[in-house]
A and B are shown apart, each in its own frame.
Chain A
Amino acid sequence: MKNSTKLLGLTGLMSSLATSSLAQEAMTLDQKVNEAFAASTGWFVNFIFMSFPGTNFPWIVMWLVVAASVFTLYFGFVQFRFFKHAIQLVKGDYSDPNDAGEVSHFQALATALSGTVGLGNIAGVAVAVGIGGPGATFWMILAGLLGMASKFTECTLGVKYRNEYEDGSVSGGPMYYISKGFNELGLPGGKILAVLFSVFCILGALGGGNMFQANQAHAQISGIVGDYPGWITGIIFAAVVFAVIVGGIKSIANVTEKVVPFMGILYVGAAAIILIVNYDMIGWAFGQIFAGAFTGLGVAGGMVGALIQGFKRAAFSNEAGVGSAAIAHSAVKTKEPITEGFVSLLEPLIDTVVICTMTALVIVISQQLIIDPDTGNYMLNEAGTAIATVDGNSGVSLTSAAFASGISWFPYVLAIAVVLFAFSTMISWSYYGLKAWTYLFGEGKTSELVFKVIFCIFIVIGAAASLGPVIDFSDAAIFAMAVVNIFCLYFLMKLVRTELASYAARLDSGEIKKFNH
């Protein structure tokens, strides 16, 4: 997750570590851990992020985009046909008032979104546009639109095959639909694939959903208050997360879950203000996006370079096909599993098509990317790897500079937003990891506590050390989830099509009605 942005955070972290003798000792230890870890897991990381021969296009990105395209065609462009219906479901038009008090469609969507909206939308987009130029935005939007069909497929299955326990609690996600769905279809290997998915999910939760987030949060905080040892941030974060997930201190979670959406709205609002102020440039910016999408406008790799960056960013940001959202969405109260599929397809739309595009537009309009006045093309930096920027910024600092050009104090808000997004992503992934853990080791207080404590320990490790290979491995684990998940979705998608046909027919016939509110 947010893979390409981590270098920035790691660089900041490295410099902060260098200022402390304590941390310097840790670095020596880190280096030892790095070497040992890289030697044993490097092959796995290389395999997952391997590029097609002669290109720098990772096959895993193609795997996600092809799957999204297949699901789009297989379900007859469900993301467009049922878009309006999805909005009506979120508004509660089809919710039975007698079910009030249960998890609503809106709540399931908001919970899943808080797990995906984060660094990818802020820093990741800057990396994509910085390398692939404005044209990357076009491909990012396209991949986001296609990804809606992947989410639809996995989240429908997530609700359909969840476990509902006697005490009323639920557990759902790919591990459940893979084992139950394969069983229903009489296919072999469901249990093994479910276990494999769970293993990757735990590793991904501890890495991309935890260590990477802690790492980036520390980089942000130290960027504002000055360098200090990362373990301090780690311990504070771990204590707060511990209080929430182990101590059950709901008030912290409640505050976060209210502040995070507010931050998201503030972020989009600030972007909108900058766009409104520069309304005369929006046409030009879209011109750059379309021209860049098909010509590259001088970026490294031309059109293909733009396409790779855009696809990559969308896939890494909205997690469509990874299977994480299916865990988050499975708690909703509905008699029709497919309704949650419809609702979930809004997720890539909000995450990628809206928020990521806003970031990209602000960066383009702020003219942080330097254009050669003679050719109209973008100028490359000295290394020729990315577009030259006004102050040499890239990643989150490029986004920050772009926003600062419109609203001077916004970088401070942005830093707070990044930290809060990191925190909410951790809380979300602690749950995804926990569900995979309990699938493997059984539900129960002790089993859950063991995972939660491990999760908190990894926060400290993630914030304190620059364990590059460990984080690489964890990122690879998240995408390995997608390898298993999508492979299984190809077999299970016919089950979703049956649900879709039945639901669509009942909706058309008027059997499924709106409730009067």
Chain B
Amino acid sequence: MTVKIVIGLDGTDTGERALTFAKDLASKIGDCELVAIYVIEWSPFTFQTAEENAQRHKRREEEIALATSRVVQPAVTQLEKDGFKATGMVRHGDVAETLNRMTVELGAVQIIVGRASSDGFAKRIFGSSTQNLVMHADVPVTVVG
């Protein structure tokens, strides 16, 4: 049976390191599918103007297209070039919650993410997406430094 592993990408170097680690792991497992997921941070509880709301569907499509072409597709292409079975997807939502939900839905066994790339004030209070994921995930999480 094919083992699925989710890689959480964030478009930075840490995402790249997560990718390298995942390749290493997958080559050891053998029959393995790597799923590269990019989550666009989004909350249904923000405040927007009426005009932004009217344009929202269009913007969402644009955001997905951009994330796919800039982050996910290059990663998938690279993985396939290196001989791995790979798919990619882009989703909106809370990063930690969405990565976990997608992992459960896909029946994947592990999530690999990069260490939080920045260290801002908000992160000190609310914790980073990585911290939240580690605390709440339903499957083992590997954080690549």
Contacts and interface: CB of A to CB of B under 8 A. Distances in A.
A168 B57 contact: yes
Given A100-B98, A101-B60, A101-B92, A171 B46 contact: no
A266 to B, nearest CB: 15
Given A106-B45, A107-B48, A168-B61, A100 B56 contact: no
A100 B49 contact: no
Instruction: Summarize B's interface: helix, strand, loop or mixed.
Output: helix
Interface string A257-293: 1101100000000000000000000000000000000
Interface in A91-105: 92, 95, 97, 100-105
Contacts of A104: 44-45
A432 B64 CA distance: 29
Interface string A91-127: 0100101001111111110111011000000000000
Interface in A209-239: none
Indicate the member of B46, B47, B93, B98 with the most A CB atoms within 10 Å: B47
Interface residues of B, number: 26
18 contacts: A92-B44, A100-B92, A101-B40, A101-B60, A101-B91, A103-B57, A107-B46, A107-B48, A168-B57, A170-B57, A250-B52, A260-B47, A328-B50, A331-B50, A427-B49, A428-B49, A431-B50, A431-B51
A102 B93 contact: no
A327 interface: yes
Given A102-B60, A107-B44, A331 B54 contact: yes
Given A92-B44, A97-B98, 4 more contacts: A100-B91, A257-B46, A260-B47, A331-B54
Given A101-B42, A102-B56, A331-B54, A111 B48 contact: yes
B70 interface: no
B78 interface: no
A170 B93 contact: no
Given A101-B60, A101-B63, A169 B48 contact: no
Nearest to A432: B50
> Nearest 4 CB-CB pairs, A to B?
A101-B92, A104-B44, A331-B53, A168-B58
Interface of B: 40, 42, 44-58, 60-61, 63-64, 91-93, 98, 101
Interface in A446-485: none
A260 B51 CA distance: 17
A55 B55 CA distance: 47
A299 interface: no
Nearest to A262: B47
A151 interface: no
Interface string A39-55: 00000000000000000
A197 to B, nearest CB: 17
Given A97-B93, A102-B60, A250-B52, A111 B101 contact: no
A233 to B, nearest CB: 22
B47 A107 contact: yes
A60 B47 CA distance: 33
A336 B61 CA distance: 21
A100 B50 contact: no
A100 B53 CA distance: 13
A333 interface: yes
A103 B42 contact: no
Contacts of A100: 42, 44, 91-93, 98
Nearest to B46: A107
A169 B49 contact: no
A428 B48 CA distance: 10
B44 A95 contact: yes
Contacts of B64: 101
Contacts of B55: 169
B79 to A, nearest CB: 24
B40 A111 contact: no
Contacts of A170: 54, 57
Interface in A353-386: none
B1 to A, nearest CB: 26
Contacts of A244: 49
A110 B56 contact: no
- Among B51, B61, B63, the most chain A Cβ lie within 10 Å of the Cβ of B51
Contacts of B101: 97
Contacts of B50: 111-112, 115, 327-328, 331, 427-428, 431-432
B58 A431 contact: no
Most chain B CB within a 10 A radius of its CB, from A95, A97, A108, A110: A97
A107 B40 CA distance: 18
A199 interface: no
Interface centre among B40, B46, B91 (most CB of A within 10 A): B46
Contacts of A253: 48-49, 52
Contacts of A106: 44-45
B98 A111 contact: no
A250 B55 CA distance: 13
A355 B40 CA distance: 35
A261 B48 CA distance: 11
Contacts of A103: 48, 53, 56-57
A245 interface: yes
A250 B49 CA distance: 9
Nearest to B49: A253
Nearest to A165: B58
A246 to B, nearest CB: 11
A171 B47 contact: no
Interface centre among B40, B60, B63, B91 (most CB of A within 10 A): B60
Contacts of B58: 167-169
Contacts of A431: 49-51, 54
